[in-house]
Structure 1
Amino acid sequence: MEEFQSVARECLGRGDAHIPDSRLDNVVVPRELDHLWDTISAHEDKDNATVSEDLFLAREFLRLRNSNELSEPDVAAANHIYAWASRHALPSAVYAESMEEPNEEKNALMHEDKLRSLLAISVIAALDSLFPVYKATDVPNIILALASFTSEADPWTTAESHTASIAILERFRTSPRTPEASFWAVLETILKDRIRPLFTRTRNPAITAAGRKDMHPIPLPRFDTSILDPESKPWRSSDIYATTVFAWVLRQYQALDINILESHFPLLVPPILALIDDETNPNKADGCTLLTHLLQPIQQAKSDILKRTNLSSVFIDAIKPCLLSLPTITPEPDSIRLLSTAYPTLFLLLKTSYLPKDKHTYTTELTKVLRENLIPSFHHISTLTPSSGTQSTLSSFPHPKLSTLLLNKIHDSLFDLAVHTTKYLQEIIPLIYSTLSNPFGTAYPPLLLAGVAVTRAVIMNAHPRIWRWRGEILGAVAACWLSVADEEAAERGKGYEKEDLIKLKMQLKGVVYLLRMVLENPDEQIAKDDEVIEAKEGFAKEVEELVGADEALRELLLGEVDGKDGMYFGA
């Protein structure tokens, strides 16, 4: 064993992936796992280097062992090795968030830690083929270690550790020898014993210990000093794998497992709220993503768990502050990352909580999001440009990507509001006009495409009242068309931008087509109104006047449009 150990140490030092066959000619690999464990346990895990040497030794021992038979001492040794490897697979606090820039020393420590974790996972994988995980004594800790490497975005995860962990976890779940009850029991143990203790140190007065809404919460102090204590958030400062493990657990629930999910619900709520309420935007975004994973099976199973626990309002109140993370306080890339997660999560939460039974409350809550968050946020980041000492009506759009994101979310909310969109035309139409009429909009075509999509949504969902706003819509579309024409005449932009402009022109024509269809085919209830009749009969004349004023608008207003071609309508 000493000779084998010496060869293993030498090969690891050289950076070999395995012990070369040429070095095995004169080395005898023992069969007994208890001999391996005796060698490993004698070192008492002194440091990373020693642990990595022992892990490499164990991995090569298991790889080269030529017998699948295990004696009773071998089984005991296998359980010891599982526990030992699982402990050393977990990433250390060296990856924790820090205000300091990474330096050579930290990079070296991270490299050592990553190597140790990778070797530990490879030991578990090698042992699994000999003595399957489900037979082990301490299955929850093995699964915990493997689940720590299920996200390729984590700095401690390599392609090898990710692939090996996913494969073992999948075998464990799908193996006919692993009863389903045992699988869920393991997950419950992980949630109770390893995840909950890490997140419950972050106090949340909105929920009870049973994971329900606290009807009589005791508010936290105005300035909660606990947020400055790293010990209050060990999932950020020490046990940095906790969020990844928790995310993996959440992804295991399917609609068919709704009874199990509901029994685990009190264990799932506190970590999600702790992440959403965190002061850092990346953790807020992660919390929203995890809430989405929780809501999907609940919605698919049509469970009323949110109503029974009164937690819908708690989650809504937790998400809405995320929507205020806007420039200039929040950098645009950070804001985009958070809002692109927070808004879809909030929409899914509202649907899961209120549809299909309580559509009135759903419409009310969605309207609040539109009027209190989406529209004000859009105007906030689309600052007005001062001109000659006066306030101009021209929006400057200094954050075009974020403005595009908000327009896309407004578009989605309008289709969910359907005909209720008519109540808010006085707020939405000016927003459309400022977007499409901006002379610099062609510098970022996706913003204009998003504005056209909102225009389509307005026409399709608020068609009974759209005749009142036909002038503003035509004015916005015409201004956008002329800007595109100027851009094409100047022959600026790259290839993909030119493609966007061609797409934009088609969709602008599609808007005019839809507007004409709505005006010429009014609803029966309003078809006899004098103003509606006037709009219907006078639209063609209004279009002719616009073309007469600027011949460049002829193709837009009078060009042919194939109503069956989805390219004209954003399809």
Structure 2
Amino acid sequence: MSALTSAIAAIDSLHTIPPLTADDEWRSIGASLPDHLTLERITEDMHERAGLVALLAFLKHTHSTSTRQQPEHAAASAQKLCEHVARIIAPCPDSEAGQVSDDDYPEYEQVAHRSRDLAPYGLAVLRILCNDYSINLDVDTLLTVISFTAPGLTDPWTTQGACHVARELLSQQLLHRLDQSDLLESILKEYLRPAFAKSRPQAVTASGRKAEFPQDDDPHRGLADDTKEVKPWKYEDHRAIAVFHWVVLTADSDVLKRLWPLFIPVLLALLDDGTTRIRRRGLLILDSFLEKFPSNILRDTGLASVFRDAVFPTLHFLPSITPEEDSILLLEAAYTALLRLARKTESKAGKVEPHGTSPKGKLLDKLLREGVFSSYFHVKEHVKIVAVLLMQTAKILDEMQIYAVKHLKDLIPMHSEVLSNPFAALAPATLSAAIQGLQAVIANCWPRLSIPAYQDELIKALVVCYMTVHDERDQLGERFAELDVELVKTASMLTVAAKGTAGKGAEDLADKAALLVSKEPLLAGLFQ
């Protein structure tokens, strides 16, 4: 039995493994390991979690005592051990452990669970080895560390503790690299470009620029190309997306300006993928990318239309074809990215264009017509998705401002239908979104709200909603007060908007409100 095997057997006999912060307990375990255990022998005989635990205990013990003497070439063994530990904890199917065959790949969740189980111990080992032996990690090991640093724990293989250790370790390693932009360029060229080479969409050329004459996509191509040969980043190396996300978050505008062609194929491949988690991650990354990407390059290269065409299909990922929860995740991310794109497509400085013909104006109009209104027609019975659409509508209107008046004929009926629904109190989140959406309509389109037809429909919607909310006061519980305040605020905004037209609208609204209050005194609380 080898030294490490003996140590592993001792670890396996433990009922529980102590927390990583319990240094004294770890040193106690380390003290019980065989005296002849060395880094060289550990490197030769590594094994899964028990091996990582034994290694961690060994390192914590040797870190606090000088009884174990390491040979002069221990640093080389430590470097080799770092690479081996990184391979073990990486969120990749483990061919060495016999998990992968040509026709049988483990599920993504299975790989993520295994990596999540091993990562806390492996990352702790890497941190100790790097500190004790002043190791500069090789790029592949660094990629594994990066894959555990995603913000918001968006990857299922990382935890809060693992993320903290990985970020700390990464920060230390980056201090040893004189030019971080060189590392980013190396990752983009030598790691990400080969991984995504076969899954590049037809909309861009191999150099990442807009294709002037793109080939028509085969509708069946997506299924045929969804393989490990075409998408190794999806099936063979789950680090790739997390690493790309880190590159986008880390790169400054100068790096993006110089290396942008290397980003585009990866972004479009993610946006084109049919798996919800990947497409959504691509949308989140695109939003971060656009935030820093120079507007002039976006405009002059034609990439704005490429991104628009890549994201827009996601707006139609709706039930019943797409599960409701998946649809919500995708819609929120897609609208956020498209709104960011609209803000970045302002006309050139000094160039005055009518709103309807400007790139930003056309995109916002398209978002409402082909996005919100089209989707609402199909998903009225899915109240959670309706809430998302209403919240995004408010954001779009705030971007359009007065130019949103052209859409009043669709905006007012959509909001009125939700507010007037007798069962609206059953979905308070959707009701709240409709009220806030109507506030955005009033705030941006107030000059046209003196039109009697619009005014009557809005008053009716507010009155019906106010009565419903008060009738269902007990059912709404804590949400009642919030909804009541927002409804009163909306009615007040409508009154102010009517006064702002400097016409007969204000008097008409006051007369209508007084008549309603005379018939139902409860409405005095609405029209204060």
TM range (shorter): 0.7 to 0.9
Matched, 1:219 2:216: yes
Partners of 2:509 and 2:301 lie apart in 1 by 54
CA apart distance, 1:55:
4.4
In the alignment, which residue of structure 1 is the partner of 2:328? 336
1:310-331 CA-partner distances (Å, limit 9, x unpaired): 2111111010000001122222
Match of 2:39 in 1: 36
1:184 equivalent to 2:181? Answer yes
Equivalent residues of 1:289, 1:341 under 8 A apart? yes
Residues 1:132 and 2:134 are matched in the alignment: yes
Number of residue pairs aligned between Structure 1 and Structure 2:
503
Do the aligned partners of 2:89 and 2:119 also contact (CA within 8 Å) in 1? Answer: yes
8 Å CA contact 1:291, 1:345 repeated in 2:
yes
Letter in 1 for 2:484: I
SS state at 1:304 partner: helix
Q: Is the 8 A contact 1:436 1:476 kept in 2?
A: no
Cα displacement string for residues 219-276 of structure 1 (whole angstroms, at most 9, x for unaligned residues): 34342253343322222212112111211222112xxx32222223222222211111
Which residue is 1:284 aligned to? 279
Report the residue type matching 1:286 in the other structure: R
The question of 1:239 aligning with 2:228 is answered no
Report the counterpart of residue 193 of structure 2 in structure 1.
196
Q: Residues of 1 paired with 2:391 and 2:487: CA distance? A: 19
Query: How many Å separate the matches in 2 of 1:446 and 1:25?
Result: 58
Cα pair 2:62 2:68 within 8 Å, conserved? no
1:498-513 equivalences under 5 Å are 498-513=480-495
Q: Which residue of 1 aligns with 2:28?
A: 21
CA shift for structure 1 position 507:
2.5
Partner of residue 513 from structure 2, selected from 517, 534, 543: 543
Moved more, 470-479 or 120-129: 470-479
CA distance in 2, matches of 1:314, 1:498: 45
1:460 Cα offset (Å):
2.5
Q: Is the 8 A contact 2:287 2:340 kept in 1?
A: yes
SS at match of 2:481: helix
Q: Which residue identity does 1:485 align to in structure 2?
A: M
Q: Does 1:10 align with 2:10?
A: yes
- Structure 2 distance, partners of 1:378, 1:493, is 27
Which of 222, 246, 249 is the aligned partner of 2:247? 249
CA distance in 1, matches of 2:192, 2:399: 37
Tell me what 1:528 maps to: none
**Matched-pair contact (CA < 8 Å) for 1:206–1:213:** yes
One-letter amino acid of the counterpart of residue 440, structure 2: A
Structure 2 unpaired stretches of 5+: 19-24
Deviation, 1:197, is: 1.8
Find the aligned partners of 1:458 and 1:425 in 2 and give their Cα distance: 8
Change beyond 3 A, Cα 1:412–1:303: closer
Find the partner of 2:346 among 354, 368, 386: 354
| Aligned 8 A contact 1:436 1:477 in 2 | no
Change (3 A) 1:62 1:192: farther
The 5 Å alignment of 1:484-563 reads 484-489=466-471, 491-519=473-501, 521=502, 533-557=503-527, 559=528
Aligned-residue CA RMSD (Å)? 3.4
Q: Percent identity, please.
A: 26
- Equivalent residue in structure 2 for 1:320, among 312, 315, 321: 312
Shift of 1:212: 0.8
| Counterpart position of 2:85 | 85
C-alpha distance in 2 between matches for 1:54 and 1:550: 76
- In the TM superposition, 1:145-156 aligns within 5 A as 145-151=144-150, 152-156=153-157
Structure 2 residue 403 is matched with structure 1 residue 415: no
Instruction: Flag the 1:238–1:42 CA change in 2: closer, same or farther, 3 A.
Output: same
- Contact conserved, 2:271 with 2:282, CA < 8 A, in 1? yes
Q: 1:132-153 CA deviation, whole Å, 9 max, x = no partner?
A: 34xx2x5312210101212334
Partner residue, 1:311: 303
Of 432, 445, 448, the residue aligned with 1:462 is: 445
Question: C-alpha separation between the residues in 2 aligned to 1:69 and 1:184?
Answer: 40
Which stretch of the first structure deviates more once superposed, 412-421 or 533-542? 533-542
Provide the residue aligned with 1:265 in structure 2.
Answer: 260
- Say if 1:479 and 1:290 are closer, same or farther in 2 by CA, change over 3 A: closer
Residue pair 2:208, 2:264 contacting (<8 A) in 1 also: yes
2:437, 2:29 → 1: CA distance?
69
| Contact 1:276–1:288 under 8 Å retained in 2 | yes
Q: Structure 1: how far apart are the matches of 2:485 and 2:36?
A: 68
Contact 1:446 1:500 in 2 (8 A): no
> Does the 8 Å CA contact 1:436/1:448 hold for their aligned counterparts?
yes
Inter-partner Cα distance in structure 2 for 1:149 and 1:260: 23
Matched, 1:380 2:378: yes
| Aligned residues of 1:512 and 1:556 also touching (Cα < 8 A) | no
User: For residues 56 and 458 of structure 2, what CA distance do their matches in structure 1 show?
Assistant: 68
The more displaced of 10-19 and 69-78 is 69-78
Paired with 1:67 and 1:270, the residues of 2 have a C-alpha distance of 54
- Check whether the contact 2:145–2:170 (CA below 8 A) recurs between aligned residues: yes
Residues in 2 aligned to 1:194 and 1:41: alpha-carbon distance in whole angstroms? 26
In the aligned structure 2, how far is the partner of 1:112 from the partner of 1:456? 49
CA displacement 1:464-483 (0-9 Å, x = unmatched): 32211x44434434444344
Q: Which amino acid aligns with 2:263?
A: L
Q: CA deviation at 1:456?
A: 2.4
TM-score (norm 2): 0.84
Cα distance between partner residues in 1 of 2:272 and 2:53: 42
C-alpha change, 1:536 and 1:48, in structure 2 (3 Å) is: closer
Q: Deviations over 1:23-49 (max 9, x none)?
A: 72896578xxxx522x13434x6x647
Partner of 1:365: 363
Instruction: Tell me the amino acid that sits aligned with residue 542 of structure 1.
Output: K
How far apart in 2 are the matches of 1:22 and 1:420? 70
CA contact (8 A) 1:421 1:462 kept: yes
Q: Look up the SS of the partner of 2:475 in the other structure.
A: coil
Q: Which residue identity is paired with 1:123?
A: V
2-structure distance, mates of 1:150, 1:318: 27
Cα deviation per residue 1:262-304 (whole Å; 9 max; x = unaligned)? Answer: 2232222222111110112221111100101211222xxx452
Cα distance in 1 for partners of 2:439, 2:192 equals 47
What is the DSSP-based 3-state SS (H/G/I as helix, E as strand, rest coil) of the residue aligned with 2:334? helix
1:3 Cα deviation (Å)? 6.0
Amino acid aligned to 2:184: L
Q: Distance in 1 between matches of 2:33 and 2:73?
A: 27
Pairing partner for 1:439 from 422, 435, 438: 422
The answer to whether the 8 Å contact 2:4/2:42 transfers is no
Change (3 A) 1:58 1:81: farther
- Cα separation, 2, equivalents of 1:344 and 1:26: 54
Other-structure match for 1:565 = none
1:465 is matched by which residue type in structure 2?
Answer: R
Q: Which moved more, 1:144-153 or 1:284-293?
A: 144-153
CA drift at 1:368:
1.3
Conserved 8 A contact 2:203-2:214:
yes
Shift of 1:458: 2.4
In structure 1, runs of 5+ residues without a counterpart are: 383-397, 522-532, 560-571
Partners of 2:240 and 2:154 in 1: CA distance: 14
Q: Normalised by the size of structure 1, how large is the TM-score?
A: 0.78
Query: What is the distance in 1 between the residues matched to 2:219 and 2:31?
Result: 67
Q: Distance in 1 between matches of 2:33 and 2:424?
A: 74
- Whether the aligned pair in 2 keeps the contact of 1:52 and 1:115 (CA below 8 Å) is no
